[in-house]
Structure formats: C-alpha cells, structure tokens
Amino acid sequence: MHNYKKLEVWQESVILVTEIYLLTDKFPDREKFGLISQINRCAVSIPSNIAEGAGRNSKKEFALFLGYSLASSFELDTQLIISNNLNFISGEQKTRITEKLTIIQKKIYSLIKSLK
C-alpha cells in the first residue's frame, strides 16, 4: 500500500481538479449535463484512480489504476480542446491547463514505469 497523499502527482492533480471546477463554473448553463459534467468527472477521476490504485494489494494493480488515471487525463485534454473550439474557454486558459495536464501525464507515466 502506498501513501497516495505524499505522491506529488496526486497533489498536483487535486489542485488541477479545483482549477477545472472553477473553469467549468463559467460554462453556459446548457452544458450542465454535457461538457461540464464530462470534464468535471474525468478531472476527478485522475487523482481518484491514483488513490484507489495506491490502496490495492500489488504493484500490478496500482499500475492498472494509474493507467486509468492517465486515460482520464487524455479524455480531459480532448474535452478542453472541444471547449476551446466552442469558445467556452480561451486559448490561454486551454494552454495553461494543458501544460499542467501534460506534466501530470508525464509523472503518471513515470510512476507506472517505476512499478514495472
């Protein structure tokens, strides 16, 4: 069992979730059950899967949940592109969040490699 709260990648992804919620709070109300829900759900999934994997019984299981976390991060990246295309977020906002997301993705990937 790993102490996920000490993992830098978990800490950074929790901060990212907060930023995402603040960002989607400004989306049009009509997107409440569309992009807002999808974006928030996959953003929360990133640190949640890190935490769940850390509580598993083996490195293999931890790596599996880190893979889920990584997949959610790519889903979030796609949704940010769509949000920018629809002018729900600015290019600057997309770039800022995407840069943080890319760092998180690299850290998740490195953690997966370290478990194998």
The structure's pTM equals 0.94
Q: Is residue 116 scored above 90 in pLDDT?
A: no
Query: Can you state the angle between helices 59-85 and 35-54, rounded to 10 degrees?
Result: 160
Q: What was the pLDDT predicted at 1? A: 63
- Domains of the chain, each with CATH number or no CATH: 4-115 (1.20.1440.60)
Confidence grade of residue 2 (pLDDT, cut at 50, 70, 90): confident
Q: What digits encode the pLDDT tens for the residues 71-105?
A: 999 999 999 999 999 999 999 999 999 999 999 99
Confirm if 32 and 8 have CB atoms less than 8 A apart: no
Average pLDDT, stretch 17-43? 95
